[in-house]
A and B are shown apart, each in its own frame.
Chain A
């Protein structure tokens, strides 16, 4: 039986979809069977980031309404054989979801896959509620700024109040990813320090992702940043993926500048 993670943020545009795509690929690279489900109905873009935009024939609403079988609708990733996407509907909007059908779909996916990762829409409206309702755990993505933290705080409160596990008095684990950390801005005090963010949100830190210009390019070309060996953000997503597979990886400090090591400096003298 697989585990269902909902990737949420409250505030829009902080990196949920980017995170979903990269962690999906990273976990698949660890040998697990993974499915990503785009719950951002009407605004789908997980297919784009995975480079699968022209492969979507059937989407999750088709499956839920029995207009297509699950096998027909699952799209295999180009980057890993054990990573699949269930796309969002482009035409139907968030009101197309019905709780009973969402429940059934997730139960089916849990049987087939080790990891079921749901990409939530921005905000805390009904689309968000459908995403969290049947999740076993949530991954909360924030940017180091007050508005993102406050919206995430609110989203966490709703998870605790509304999702099915919480109603059954079971723990819904919540993990934090701080995305778009800019060392220069942290040093100058323009960004919140991750210690403060953890104090406020009081959930477990899963990892930190630095700001990386290459992410936009990666999304545009449909090759998630985790495939880029040189990218620090890619390496950060790799570490998080391993952690989610139960592998203990040391935390790296992405909040301070990466100054070249002494040996690196000396070697560069002779180049």
Chain B
């Protein structure tokens, strides 16, 4: 007899309704392929078919004894678009989801984002963000409009700034240490 041992991560999902479950899977299928999925709730024929055609690794019965430390992983259901290129003058980028830019945004470039915005390079251009937060490092030349309000350049110090909208006011807080981007 041969026994093999695997270390795996398990994702526990409660099926509340067929449609919400399928929507969730569709959005996150790429990531979820790396996990064993522990399904609770009713597996309808449509769900069964989805699981089979997408080759999802899952189980409906899981009984782990011992130190059962339940790790809660919060998956925010939002798409993320990533731009890993310099955004140059004349470019006009419009994104409905969240956006992560892993480079600089040059003078003369414009970015419009409906979701949250993180830019790791220096921003010389124009940003229009309607999300809940922004994390940016801007030069004095930049123009930043957050939820329709232009941010006063003097608030944006020459370092990373977290700009958040807490429902009724916009808060700008410089981040002292530059975050390390893996």
Partner of B88, one of A146, A154, A199: A154
> Number of A interface residues, CB 8 Å?
12
Residues of chain A contacted by B86 (CB below 8 angstroms): 202
B41 at the interface (CB under 8 A from A): no
In contact, B88 and A157 (Cβ under 8 angstroms): yes
Quick one: which of B86, B88, B106 has the most chain A CB within 10 A? B88
A143-155 interface code vs B (CB 8 A; 1 in, 0 out): 0001000110110
Q: How many A-B residue pairs have CB under 8 A?
A: 33
CB distance from A244 to the nearest CB of B (A): 24
Quick one: which of A150, A156, A199 has the most chain B CB within 10 A? A150
In contact, A200 and B90 (Cβ under 8 angstroms): no
In contact, B107 and A150 (Cβ under 8 angstroms): yes
CB distance from A198 to the nearest CB of B (A): 12
In contact, B108 and A150 (Cβ under 8 angstroms): yes
In the docked arrangement, what's the CA distance between A199 and B91, Å? 18
B57 at the interface (CB under 8 A from A): no
> Number of B interface residues, CB 8 Å?
13
Given contacts A200-B124, A202-B86, contact A157 B107 (CB under 8 A): no
In the docked arrangement, what's the CA distance between A145 and B89, Å? 15
B56-76 interface code vs A (CB 8 A; 1 in, 0 out): 000000000000000000000
CB distance from A141 to the nearest CB of B (A): 16
B positions within 8 Å CB-CB of A: 85-86, 88-91, 103-104, 106-108, 122, 124
* Listed A/B pairs (21) with beta-carbon separation below 8 Å: A146-B107, A150-B106, A150-B107, A150-B108, A151-B89, A153-B88, A153-B89, A153-B90, A153-B107, A154-B88, A154-B89, A154-B90, A156-B88, A157-B89, A157-B90, A157-B91, A160-B88, A200-B106, A200-B124, A202-B86, A202-B104
* Known A153-B106, A154-B88, A156-B88; 13 more pairs at CB < 8 Å: A150-B106, A150-B107, A150-B108, A153-B88, A153-B90, A153-B108, A154-B90, A154-B108, A157-B91, A160-B85, A200-B104, A200-B124, A202-B103
Leading 10 A-B pairs by shortest Cβ distance: A157-B88, A154-B90, A153-B89, A154-B89, A153-B88, A150-B89, A150-B108, A153-B106, A202-B86, A150-B107
